[in-house]
Chains A and B, each alone.
Chain A
Amino acid sequence: MAVKQVTVFIGNKEGRIEKVTEVLKDNSINISSLSLAESVDFGLLRLIVSDPEKAKDALKAEGLSARLSDVIAVEISNAPGSLHGLLTALVEFNIEYMYVLSSAETASMIMKIKDYESAEAVIRKSGFRVLAQSEI
């Protein structure tokens, strides 16, 4: 039950992230969560949005490099030790990256995991809830 993440290539220039948020605003797309990975010369902006397909097309239409990839969203309770519990369950897996999707009551981890399907099975077996795209 993958969630679609929009990944945008960001060159090392002023105003590039602002350009992304402008395009999303103009298309009435809501951003639920994001993370930015950077190197010296460029960055990757990863976004969880209300309409990933539309977001990707709108960004590409504005000349940005954008693509969709599958990530997993796992709900964790807003309490000490809950993230640790999730990571303990996944100790055998290679997590590429993760970031937080947060709301008032609960939090979710957005995770990119190698061998995603068996990871999802482990997560469910360990009692965590995996979010569907419609729940974002």
Chain B
Amino acid sequence: MIWNETKECMSADEKLTLQSARLVKLVDRVYHNVEFYRKRMQSVGIEPGDITGIEDLKKLPYTTKNDLRDNYPFGLFAVPREQIVRVHASSGTTGKATVVGYTRRDIDIWAECVARCLAGAGVTSKDIIQVAYGYGLFTGGLGAHYGAEFMGATVVPQSTGNTKKLLTMMNDFGVTAIACTPSYLLHIAEVVKEQGILDELKLRVAICGAEPWTENMRHMIEKELNIKAYDIYGLSEVMGPGVACDCEFHKGLHVHDDHFYPEIIDPETLEPVGENVTGELVFTTLTKEGLPLIRYRTKDLTSIEYGTCECGRTQPRIQKFKGRSDDMLIIRGVNVFPSQVEAALLEMGGTTPNYMMIVDRVDHQDTLEVQVEVDESYFDDEMRGLENLAGKIGGALKQALGLAVKVRLVEPKTLPRYEGKSVHVIDNRKLE
């Protein structure tokens, strides 16, 4: 089902007109309301009058996560703070979070975008949906929640953490749809198998996102739970979940490009690349009021296919993600930068310990082990001291990353050293 046929199946001409008009207004707005954008544009000699249509977008400078950090917390907001009705936050590259803000209209548009995604997955107002993303500063929980509620479905705000309880409610309530990370759903599938309750469940569809997954994982989920599974994409800087989504033909994620204009650029030369060429995904938020972003570099590597999909939607489709152009990891749906680990270890004091992050997937759940070298200044002759040290490091990392971490203490100079660029991550998860 298509939620908003007017927008999702718009003709190329109509779309160009709409996007151009929205871009012109956006540029005018950020130039006059956000000092950062004004200065950026002035530095390359661009004025709002120079932008007359979507084809002029390439004249504008890029925006990055560092720009958000440098203007922490509210420096890039384009409306007075009183008009912001909600903030969310995600991991920054160091101690400070990346903060985003929404006006009431932003929240409404977000809800509609999520509703479009749910409709694309076949969810209707008759469904009862469990939202099993984390609720809170993370956009996953509340984003999916508002979209499902906007659609008129019955929402169970399950959040994460208690699979048994989730399954009890799924069974007792007759839940028909679920929104969660694909790896968590695989874990749920295993528990369902153990309990032998598959035949009792009414679950028929899953909308999974917040981490990259493969066609194989989708097939496995569909087979194990006897449901249909769909991919949903988003990032908090641009909005949250619902920037783009799957349809029943699984030919890429349809971008809601009446609100989010996508480009693919070469991350080295920063020049836009053509259709089906892999590069870094860049978004311009055409309608956002609270935190509009001009040519925001997502660091996600992918390609875009244009043309009408078999489902009838005319939106550009993001193809399979090929990785990141930075070192960000997604672990259990949480964005993690190695620099956060380094900052947390440094903050604990003493000398800089060497560290290595080992990411793995055990029983479909991501695990993170951080190995830290200890020298004689970190321990005494009692085990308790070392165990306390491991506990203290684990606590500090959990606080910094928002993720449970297994800490392994290792001997000094046993972690690998690399010439030049140091490597702090071993990711053993197989995504192909």
Contacts and interface: CB of A to CB of B under 8 A. Distances in A.
Nearest to B410: A11
Contacts of A92: none
A44 B381 contact: yes
Interface string B346-387: 000000000000000000000000000011100111110011
B410 A66 contact: no
Nearest to B413: A63
Interface string B404-420: 00001111111000000
B381 A69 contact: yes
A44 B383 contact: yes
A69 B282 CA distance: 58
Contact of B376 (A39, A60, A97): A60
A39 B386 CA distance: 10
B376 A42 contact: no
Given A16-B411, A64-B411, A65-B412, A39 B380 contact: no
B259 to A, nearest CB: 49
A112 B382 CA distance: 9
Interface in B133-190: none
Interface in A41-88: 41-42, 44, 46, 60, 63-67, 69, 71
B387 A65 contact: no
A16 B374 CA distance: 15
A66 B412 CA distance: 10
Contacts, number: 59
**Chain B CB within 10 Å — which of A42, A67, A71 has the most?**
A42
Contacts of A46: 381
Contacts of A65: 374-376, 379, 411-412
A112 B413 CA distance: 29
A97 B411 CA distance: 23
A10 B376 contact: no
Interface residues of A, number: 24
B386 to A, nearest CB: 7
Contacts of A11: 409-411, 414
Given A9-B411, A60-B376, A67 B386 contact: no
Contact of A42 (B381, B382, B386, B413): B386
A42 B409 contact: yes
A65 B383 CA distance: 14
Contacts of B409: 9, 11, 41-42
B381 A9 contact: no
A37 interface: yes
A39 B411 contact: no
Contacts of B411: 9-11, 13, 16, 63-65
Contacts of B379: 7, 9, 44, 65, 67
A39 B383 contact: yes
A108 interface: no
A44 B380 CA distance: 9
A14 interface: no
Contacts of A112: 381-382
11 contacts: A7-B379, A7-B381, A9-B376, A11-B411, A41-B408, A44-B379, A63-B411, A65-B374, A65-B375, A65-B411, A96-B382
Given A42-B410, A63-B412, 6 more contacts: A7-B381, A13-B411, A41-B408, A65-B374, A69-B380, A112-B382
Query: Shortest 7 CB-CB distances between A and B: which pairs?
Result: A7-B381, A11-B411, A67-B376, A69-B381, A11-B410, A63-B413, A65-B376
